[in-house]
Amino acid sequence: MMLHPELLRAARTARTPLLGATGLLGAVALTHLAQAVLFALALAALARGDSGALAAPLAGVLGAVAVRAGLGWWQRRLASRAGTAVRTGLRDALLERLGAGASVARAGSARATLVDGVEGVDAYISRYLPQLLITCAVPPLLLAAVAAVEPYAVLALAPALVLALFAPRWWDRLLARRGQEHWESYDALAADYLEALQGMPALRAAGAVARTRARLERRSAALHRATVAKLRVSLVDTGVTDLAIQGGTVAAALVACASAASGRTAATGTYLVLLLSSECFRPIRDLSREWHAGYLGVSAADGIARLRTAPDGVPDTGTESGRWTAAPQIRFEHVGFSYPGADRPALTDVSFTAEAGRTTALVGPSGAGKSTVLGLLLRHRDQDEGRVTVDGRDTSAYTLDALRRGIAVVSQETYLFHATVSENLRLARPDADDAALRTAARAAGVHDEIAALPQGYDTLVGERGATLSGGQRQRLALARALLADAPVLVLDEATSAVDERREARIGRELLRAAAGRTCLVVAHRLRSVRHADRIVVLDGGRVEATGTHAELLEQNALYARLAAA
């Protein structure tokens, strides 16, 4: 009888169908009771040799069976609706947490919680919880009915019922610990498998496939041991429950037979005690079955709670939700920022302005703070000092959705989904027509290559764009950002996988496509940014210099070295 607060909280989202399913399960239990009474009447009539009295009880039994079938179908339907509502609500809530920037240690762990953990919750809530309520209510009522027929039988049934209901609770704490160990082993194995699948090209290149396989085998063996340890405790639980059920039923039968032999109880009463004794334990048997079906949900509940309560990257406290109608100005004013645990600041007193509708480039050696600047603009993190403003307002004044919806980003690490080219592009703008797709693809320099694919824009690109080259993936991501038609365009090494000749052509197309937008460009190769309206040189987390390409070549030694390199 293990109740987890996280699962009870989830159950409240489907309160109405869950209560309906529980009520119907109670009605099903009543049909079992009615069937037992009618069978007892039929057996008593048969014992008396009164065949004429058999028809009505047997017809009643058939009626009880038919009603139970209908009620059972209705109950399963309501329970399924409750389970579906809980699963949907939980997954939506967890995905919303992930979308808000909740930190997770490993993607494979989050996947296991979202898929297998939530699936286990379904059985726990839709099947175990209703059965738990019925098990608490029905056996005492049946015990009272047996007492009315044969009081001595209760003396045999009651201890067995108490043992069957409460003896397994002695193992609950141990079972919970074993279940948590089992889930943690499964979680770790799922995370390792996902990493291995995603990193298989790197593993092959490093000759590490065999070592990875050995690590996965150790993980699998640990999961096997955890599973066996959990089953060992669970089987003891089941064994004690079955012993109590069988012993109680036999003891009640012996008492009923002794009572009949002494003439204290009529035949009808004896049969009724025998049948009701079996029905007393039916809810407990059903509870044990549903417990094993829903136990995964209990094991995964802590992981669900951790993911649901994981802290956001930044708090979404803004109130401005409108989109900018024109390209905004972006300002960094004396911004300072340090990563947790770092021994020196990533940015120190950074100030610059990206003018509205102009292209501003950020350049500098690796570790200069370029990507950190973009992360603060998008509020993946908040600065420790200073202000970051867009259109004259702090970025914290905007809701995260509004801020990020107004900024289209193309990063060095692109992600394409297992879908067609057009579906990947329309992630940015679902209502875009084919002409808009082609315009964005031409601006990104990838239209001709898409047209050459077997089905053109309807070609599947494979998981992570596996059927495309690195340059093609990057240019598709660039086209997707252009299609978004956001007032701000951020290019973080967006052409790093493109050769220099193609990069120059894409750069010219981008200048035309970015017209009227505020554009921030991060690049190592200065060829792609030398036509920017303004260039900001970063070094060691500080602004070293600002100016045009020609000005910086003459006035800044660091920029000159970067250009020469």
Structural domain boundaries enclosing 349 = 330-564
Together in a domain, 20 and 164: yes
d(CA 555, CA 409): 31
d(CA 196, CA 466): 16
Both tokens of 428, joined, read: 């940015």
**15 in Cβ contact with 86 (< 8 Å):** no
User: What band does 505 get if pLDDT is binned at 50, 70 and 90?
Assistant: low
What pLDDT, in 10s, does the model give residues 198-222?
Answer: 777 777 777 778 888 888 888 889 8
Q: What is the mean pLDDT of residues 537-552?
A: 87
Is pLDDT of 487 > 80? yes
Both tokens of 80, joined, read: 């399924």
**Spatial strand order in the sheet of 534-539:** 407-410, 488-492, 518-522, 359-363, 534-539, 542-547
Number of domains within the chain = 2
Burial (CB count <10 Å: 0-12, 13-18, 19+), residue 6:
buried
Is pLDDT of 489 > 80? yes
Backbone angles phi and psi of 519, in degrees to 5 = -120, 125
Q: Is 145 a member of any domain?
A: yes
Together in a domain, 123 and 11: yes
Q: Is 315 a member of any domain?
A: no
d(CA 530, CA 507): 10
Q: Is 118 a member of any domain?
A: yes
Q: Is 324 a member of any domain?
A: no
Please report, for the domain that includes residue 470, its CATH number.
3.40.50.300
pLDDT value of residue 457: 85
Both tokens of 342, joined, read: 């770092």
Is pLDDT of 334 > 90? yes
pLDDT value of residue 556: 79
Q: What is the mean pLDDT of residues 59-71?
A: 89
Q: Which of 107-116, 184-193, 206-215, 334-343 has the lowest mean pLDDT?
A: 107-116
- Tokens 């603009």, located at residue: 377
Q: Which domain-ending residue is among 278, 308, 338?
A: 308
What pLDDT, in 10s, does the model give residues 509-526?
Answer: 566 666 778 888 887 767
Together in a domain, 388 and 264: no
For residue 338, what are the contacts with CB-CB under 8 A and spacing of at least 6?
344, 345, 346, 384
HEC letters along 308-344? HCCCCCCCCCCCECCCCCCCCCEEEEEEEECCCCCCC
User: What band does 385 get if pLDDT is binned at 50, 70 and 90?
Assistant: very high
Together in a domain, 218 and 128: yes
Q: What is the mean pLDDT of residues 361-366?
A: 86
Is pLDDT of 508 > 70? no
- Tokens 């639980």, located at residue: 237
Which one has a higher pLDDT value, 265 or 41? 41
**17 in Cβ contact with 124 (< 8 Å):** no
Q: What is the mean pLDDT of residues 262-278?
A: 74
Together in a domain, 200 and 259: yes
Is pLDDT of 404 > 70? yes
Q: Measured between alpha carbons, how far is residue 37 from residues 57, 273, 276 in Å?
A: 9, 9, 8
Q: How many helices (H) and strands (E) does the chain have?
A: 20, 10
Please report, for the domain that includes residue 220, its CATH number.
1.20.1560.10
Together in a domain, 286 and 374: no
> Could you tell me which residues are beta bridge partners of residue 518?
488
Together in a domain, 352 and 270: no
Together in a domain, 252 and 400: no
Q: Is 495 a member of any domain?
A: yes
d(CA 196, CA 33): 56
User: What band does 330 get if pLDDT is binned at 50, 70 and 90?
Assistant: very high
Q: Is 84 a member of any domain?
A: yes
What pLDDT, in 10s, does the model give residues 408-459?
Answer: 887 777 778 888 888 888 887 888 888 888 888 887 778 888 888 888 888 8
Together in a domain, 340 and 289: no
Nearest Cα to Cα of residue 520 among 359, 390, 384: 359
Residues constituting the chain? 565
Together in a domain, 276 and 382: no
Q: Is 462 a member of any domain?
A: yes
Q: Is 249 a member of any domain?
A: yes
Q: What is the mean pLDDT of residues 20-44?
A: 84
Q: Which of 9-13, 111-115, 136-140, 539-543 has the lowest mean pLDDT?
A: 111-115
pLDDT value of residue 70: 92
pLDDT value of residue 525: 67
Please compute, for residue 377, the number of CA atoms within 13 A of its CA located in the half-sphere on the CB side: 32
Together in a domain, 356 and 293: no
- Tokens 């995260």, located at residue: 400
Q: Measured between alpha carbons, how far is residue 369 from residues 192, 339, 348, 390, 488 in Å?
A: 32, 11, 10, 20, 20
What is the overall mean pLDDT for the chain?
A: 81
pLDDT value of residue 446: 82
Both tokens of 179, joined, read: 């279940």
Maximal CA-CA distance, the chain: 118
Both tokens of 239, joined, read: 């064994």
Is pLDDT of 265 > 70? no
pLDDT value of residue 66: 92
Together in a domain, 264 and 372: no
